[in-house]
């Protein structure tokens, strides 16, 4: 059979695919020319070679004059992009890392605002639309955009190999050559063409792509003339107009109002072209001069800049060719690369040559005659094997999920009706008389779970207190000792006989007149009590409140904790006028402490624990201002992996509860991430999760604050009681704003993990703290 195997159609298809994939272009140069058109002014910037200098220099001109960018001439940029009222420059710190800095300016150029918006893995491509900037991360070609929530980049099933940004949309080429578009511009997103393409570009409201044979396809909303026919290398698109670089390196333009290339430039050869709205610019191939056209501010006979880099300097060009004469613009040993014309022509998959006429000997012919049926048989064999394997995998997967869900711990912790353990709680309470100890017997279910806990040895390191000791320490549960309420009862401050200061939480007995309802609510409180005892008995972390012991006598259920002296984060944010948390560094540190505690629950507890009630009133501050997560009454043992979930009724606190969990009743660790994101918004804004606006109407902090973060206007919603951020702090505050917005994304799969949250907060704190600040001890009360 081997004698005729390579004549089969399957092998032809295989070689066709190999030849096809080998011609996909892989170098997409970074932009070295940018245009910003705002009102009646246009700012043109370029990376320019200066004789005698060891690096290129960023140079900008305003038409008419007025906008001046105060950049450092010693800074070397590898790429620049612009949009409406902003200019961004990419700084390559090393082959593996990049920094992106941006200047924002007003129409008249008088107000200038500078900030760093990215510092991480190197970016392989950088593009800007009118209002958003996007880049591809070099290691994975992952799409990143700023503002970060402009596009739902997580919906991209594969990473882009190239992309283009327009107004309210971004389109990219997948590694297969197919096009995927994201955003709210339906004219572009819903009309993306089918097929394989080598290059893509975006205008304000439309996009174009070049096929492997050089043909041009455009879609979206564009008035005026249609694009020309022919073979093209690259494009630059604006507002209802566009220009394209032909394979002979001349330029042709088209668009609304019979837009065309000026006569003076029609026989000129270009290396690269750029566009924004009405303005187009191109770098000449002959002398690297920059010419611009498109509005009345530009004379096509006048040079804008000389010695402009047509692309970034590289040490190697791979399959692409070197631009002739570009070596003089780059450091020694480097040159500028360009898409090779031969690559564009040859990128069309070549036809597979038909098999030559048979010239084999008779014995070979007999061999082939015996195996004429082998092609079909091989095809059926391969398809049959693959299909059977897929079927077995699918069946096995569903069996695994079914069996695993059968073994999941399912628990309904009550309704969000203000009466169950999921209801919001407030510190303090109304006046009451001392409570006498209860004499009713504990429920059989509670006794069974307590005995199970003891038999597993989890409570072995906990101290079991007698009821008499508890009564003496709390003065018979006097109201004067009350410092708050928790998920299943009141909390009292007490001092034990040995002098230890503790917080004592006493479970409450339901006093409802309905037997059925009362029994259900009592079971909920019993479950909350045993949950907290079970969770804290096996958890040990500096950012989790420490359980010292318990008391279970008749129907009294009591937990004894370490006393946390400086109260709750909720008090410091919303109640206390004077607090040491009136600095951004202090607030970020508290957020980091709390995040580490939740990360421990998700990542290091075995099995993982989902808290379900993360909120500012459940984050306590000890005498050294270390934050500790408390109140585990609603906590559950979660699934072993991030992909699984628990199916159960929603529980938690209004304003903090994950809307996806509430809607679908599917609990994952990402539900805690949402709640923590709300806490971050509280820390930034000083507003409660649910608060009243200026008209007295209740409002959610997510709905109010996140839109300002997305619009890069976080300064408008920062807590006014905290001094304005310093230059060191502003980047950290903006970074945390984006992090909080990511945490409260509606879909859990789009949220970061708590490990990612911790990593981001560590970076923010490092950027914020020039010299660490120590906090003095406060006199505020504590609670659990």
Half-sphere exposure of 398 (CA within 13 A, CB side): 5
Report how far residue 620's alpha carbon sits from residue 628's, in angstroms, rounded to the nearest whole number.
Answer: 5
Q: Chain centroid to CA 711: how far?
A: 16
Token code pair at residue 482:
């009350």
Helix (H, G, I), strand (E, B) or coil at 588: helix
Tell which phi-psi region holds residue 440, choosing left (phi > 0), alpha (psi between -120 and 50) or beta.
Answer: beta
Please identify which residue in the block is written with the tokens 């500096």: 542
Count each helix (H run) and each strand (E run) in the chain, helices first.
15, 39
HEC sequence for 108-161: CCCCEEEEEEEEEECEEEEEECCCCEEEEECCCCCEEEECCCCCCHHHCCCCEE
- 478 Cβ partners below 8 Å, 6+ apart? 434, 492
- 211 Cβ partners below 8 Å, 6+ apart? 195, 196, 197, 198, 217
Report which secondary-structure segment, H or E, holds 97: strand 97-105
Could you check whether the bond before residue 607 is cis, i.e. omega within 30 degrees of 0? yes
Which of 78, 60, 168, 174 lies closest to 126, judged by CA? Answer: 78
Report which secondary-structure segment, H or E, holds 326: none
Please report, to the nearest 10 degrees, the dihedral formed by the alpha carbons of residues 643, 387, 22, 214 taken in order.
-90
Task: Give catalytic status of residue 613 as yes or no.
Answer: yes
A 10 A CB-CB count for 607 gives: 10
Q: Are 508 and 556 in contact (CB under 8 A)?
A: no
Please report, to the nearest 10 degrees, the dihedral formed by the alpha carbons of residues 315, 317, 323, 326 taken in order.
-10
Token code pair at residue 630:
């408390």
DSSP code at position 47? E
In the set 307, 320, 593, 613, the catalytic residue is 613
Helix (H, G, I), strand (E, B) or coil at 726: coil
Judge residue 538's burial from the number of C-beta atoms within 10 Å of its C-beta, 0-12 exposed, 13-18 middle, 19 or more buried.
middle
Report how far residue 126's alpha carbon sits from residue 101's, in angstroms, rounded to the nearest whole number.
Answer: 12
Half-sphere exposure of 554 (CA within 13 A, CB side): 9
Please report, to the nearest 10 degrees, the dihedral formed by the alpha carbons of residues 473, 478, 484, 490 taken in order.
80
DSSP code at position 245? E
Q: Are 133 and 144 in contact (CB under 8 A)?
A: no
Q: What is the CA radius of gyration of the chain?
A: 33
Could you check whether the bond before residue 420 is cis, i.e. omega within 30 degrees of 0? no
What residues are labeled active site?
A: 613
């Amino acid at each position: 059979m081997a004698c005729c195997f390579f004549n089969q159609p399957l092998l032809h298809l295989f070689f066709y695919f190999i030849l096809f994939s080998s011609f996909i272009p892989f170098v997409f140069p970074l932009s070295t020319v940018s245009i910003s058109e705002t009102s009646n002014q246009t700012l043109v910037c370029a990376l320019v070679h200066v004789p005698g200098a060891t690096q290129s220099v960023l140079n900008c001109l305003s038409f008419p004059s007025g906008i001046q960018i105060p950049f450092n001439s010693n800074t070397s940029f590898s790429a620049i992009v612009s949009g409406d009222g902003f200019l961004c420059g990419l700084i390559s710190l090393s082959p593996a890392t990049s920094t992106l800095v941006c200047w924002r300016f007003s129409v008249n150029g008088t107000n200038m605002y500078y900030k760093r918006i990215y510092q991480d893995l190197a970016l392989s491509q950088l593009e800007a639309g009118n209002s958003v900037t996007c880049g591809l991360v070099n290691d994975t070609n992952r799409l990143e955009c700023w503002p970060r929530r402009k596009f739902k980049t997580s919906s991209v099933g594969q990473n882009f190999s190239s992309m283009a940004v327009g107004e309210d949309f971004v389109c990219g080429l997948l590694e297969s050559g197919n096009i995927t578009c994201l955003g709210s511009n339906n004219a572009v997103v819903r009309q993306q063409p089918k097929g394989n393409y080598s290059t893509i570009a975006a205008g304000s409201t439309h996009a174009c792509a070049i096929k492997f044979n050089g043909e041009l396809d455009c879609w979206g909303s564009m008035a005026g003339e249609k694009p020309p026919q022919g073979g093209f290398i690259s494009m630059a698109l604006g507002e209802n107009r566009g220009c394209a670089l032909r394979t002979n390196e001349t330029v042709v333009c088209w668009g609304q109002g019979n837009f065309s290339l000026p006569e003076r430039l029609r026989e000129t050869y270009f290396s690269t072209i750029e566009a924004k709205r009405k303005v187009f610019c191109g770098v000449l191939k002959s002398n690297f001069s920059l010419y611009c056209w498109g509005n009345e501010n530009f004379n096509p006979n006048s040079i804008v800049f000389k010695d402009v880099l047509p692309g970034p300097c590289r040490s190697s060009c791979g399959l692409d060719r070197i631009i002739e004469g570009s070596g003089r613009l780059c450091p020694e040993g480097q040159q500028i690369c360009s898409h090779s014309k031969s690559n564009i022509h040859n990128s069309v998959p070549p036809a597979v040559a038909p098999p030559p006429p048979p010239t084999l000997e008779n014995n070979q012919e007999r061999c082939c005659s015996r195996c004429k049926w082998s092609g079909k048989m091989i095809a059926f064999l391969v398809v049959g094997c693959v299909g059977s394997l897929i079927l077995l995998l699918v069946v096995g997967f569903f069996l695994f999920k079914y069996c695993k869900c059968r073994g999941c711990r399912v628990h309904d912790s009550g309704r969000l009706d203000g009466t169950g353990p999921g209801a919001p709680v407030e510190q303090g309470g109304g006046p009451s008389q001392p409570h006498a100890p209860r004499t009713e017997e504990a429920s059989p279910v509670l006794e069974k779970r307590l005995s199970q806990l003891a038999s597993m040895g989890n409570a072995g390191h906990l101290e079991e207190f007698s009821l008499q000791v508890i009564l003496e320490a709390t003065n018979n549960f006097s109201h004067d000792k009350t410092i708050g309420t928790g998920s299943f009862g009141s909390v009292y401050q007490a001092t034990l006989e040995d002098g230890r200061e503790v917080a004592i939480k006493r479970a409450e007995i339901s006093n409802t007149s309905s037997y059925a309802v009362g029994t259900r609510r009592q079971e909920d409180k019993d479950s909350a009590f045993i949950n907290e005892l079970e969770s804290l008995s096996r958890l040990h972390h500096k950012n989790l409140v420490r359980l010292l012991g318990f008391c279970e006598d008749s129907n009294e259920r009591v937990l004894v904790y370490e006393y946390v002296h400086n109260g709750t984060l909720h008090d410091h944010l919303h109640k206390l006028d004077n607090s040491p948390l009136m600095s951004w560094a202090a607030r970020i540190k508290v957020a980091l402490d709390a995040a580490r505690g939740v990360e421990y629950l998700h990542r290091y507890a075995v099995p993982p624990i989902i808290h379900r009630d993360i909120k500012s009133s459940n984050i306590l501050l000890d005498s050294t201002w270390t934050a500790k997560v408390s109140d585990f009454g609603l906590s559950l043992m979660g699934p072993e992996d991030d992909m699984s979930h628990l199916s159960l009724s929603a529980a938690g606190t209004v304003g903090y509860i994950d809307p996806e969990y509430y809607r679908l009743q599917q609990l994952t660790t990402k539900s805690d991430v949402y709640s923590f994101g709300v806490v971050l918004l509280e820390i930034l804004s000083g507003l409660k999760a649910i608060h009243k606006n200026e008209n007295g109407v209740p409002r959610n902090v997510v709905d109010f604050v996140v839109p300002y973060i997305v619009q890069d206007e976080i300064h408008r919603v920062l807590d006014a009681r905290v001094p304005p951020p310093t230059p060191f702090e502003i980047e950290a505050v903006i970074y945390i704003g984006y992090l909080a917005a990511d945490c409260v994304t509606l879909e859990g799969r789009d949220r970061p993990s708590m490990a990612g949250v911790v990593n981001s907060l560590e970076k923010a704190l490092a950027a914020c703290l020039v010299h660490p600040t120590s906090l003095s001890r406060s006199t505020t009360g504590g609670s659990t």
